[in-house]
Homo-oligomer: A and B are copies of this chain.
Amino acid sequence: MGKPTISDVAKAAGLSVTTVSHAFSGRRHVDPATRERIHAIAQELGYHPSSVAQQLRSGRTGTIALASSMPFAVAAGPSRLGFLMEIAASAAMAAFSRDIALCLIPPQPSPANLNQMGFDGVILVEPERDDPLVRHFEARRTPVVTIGKVPEREDIPAIDLYSAEGTRLLLDHLWENGARQIALLTGASERTSHLEARRIYAEFAATQGFSPQALLLDEAKGEGGAKELVTHLLRDHPEINGLLVPVDAFASGAVAAAKDLGKSIPGELSIATRYDGLRAKLSEPPLTALDLHLSQLAEAAVALLLAHIEGAPGVTPVPVPSLVPRRSSLRREG
């Protein structure tokens, strides 16, 4: 025999299921003595209301999901500790404090896979233009909010990553610390953070009067691809003495390339990246990066999503990134 149901309890108590239901939900008055008895019997039987049945009735699952459209190589990475997991931890806390569970959706799920699960809403991390997951959930009328805007979709509620501001912080820092020919390497996909980085970079180069070198690389190529690309870049353009590489996996590759070429960091080449994760911290030398305040962003995203589910508009202010200067870009005196 499986788990006891409400009617098992009703039967055992000699009452109707209605009364038992009311005794549990408190939506209507039931005689205190009866309620007491019902609870005792339920306890004894080990009865607990089925959440699935409640969900069916109420139309709410009490579950939200967290997904990333980034390729696995970047999103999870070899050490599995990254951006996404940092957000996941905070989001789980934030959701849970509101009596909501958080489901993890690993990178690049098959649509068939996703259909099986019911969420009240989804937080999507760093979506790209025409993101397939956005399409998927919109088709299903599942509310979506994103961390990082969906390009050209101002209508989708989003937590701003302030990529323009962050990029500016990093470029200014590199410049102030003596880099005069700065190159940029971003992911090739059309995510807001990359788009903004390229835009701000172009502006910056124009303002400071150096000739821009902006490279794109497929994110799935990971560290190895970046190493190869940067090796060529540095060989072809020996004048480059600063490198902005927002994708941290790429930054690791860039460091490796510089080492291979015998370029000292930051002596001959300054490097900065975006996400201050394991890679930035453990790099030799450690990489200048941004504190994106991910845990606050995650909390804000949860709040925004829940507001969106409720139909409330809701604007959540979030912090702007701050600079974490490290050895990879500290000023050379020469």
CB contacts (< 8 Å) of A117 on chain B: these are: 51, 62-63, 101
Chain A residues 13-49 with CB under 8 Å of chain B are: 46, 48-49
Chain B residue at smallest Cβ distance from A43? B139
Interface string of A261-289 (1 = CB under 8 A from B): 00000000000000000100110000000
Q: Is the CB of A315 closer than 8 A to any CB of chain B? A: no
CB contacts (< 8 Å) of A215 on chain B: these are: none
Q: Is the CB of A295 closer than 8 A to any CB of chain B? A: yes
Q: Is the CB of A53 closer than 8 A to any CB of chain B? A: yes
Chain B residue at smallest Cβ distance from A53? B56
Q: Which of A52, A103, A116 has the most CB of B within 10 A?
A: A52
Q: Which 9 A-B pairs have the closest CB atoms?
A: A51-B118, A92-B104, A80-B89, A85-B85, A101-B117, A96-B106, A52-B55, A93-B106, A92-B106
Other A-B contacts than A3-B140, A52-B56, A103-B103, 14 sampled, CB-CB below 8 A, are A48-B140, A51-B118, A52-B52, A55-B55, A80-B90, A80-B295, A81-B81, A81-B278, A89-B106, A96-B113, A99-B113, A101-B103, A101-B104, A101-B116
22 contacts between A and B (CB under 8 A): A3-B140, A46-B140, A46-B141, A49-B115, A51-B117, A52-B61, A54-B116, A62-B116, A63-B63, A65-B101, A81-B278, A85-B88, A85-B89, A88-B88, A89-B104, A92-B104, A92-B105, A96-B113, A99-B112, A101-B105, A103-B104, A278-B278
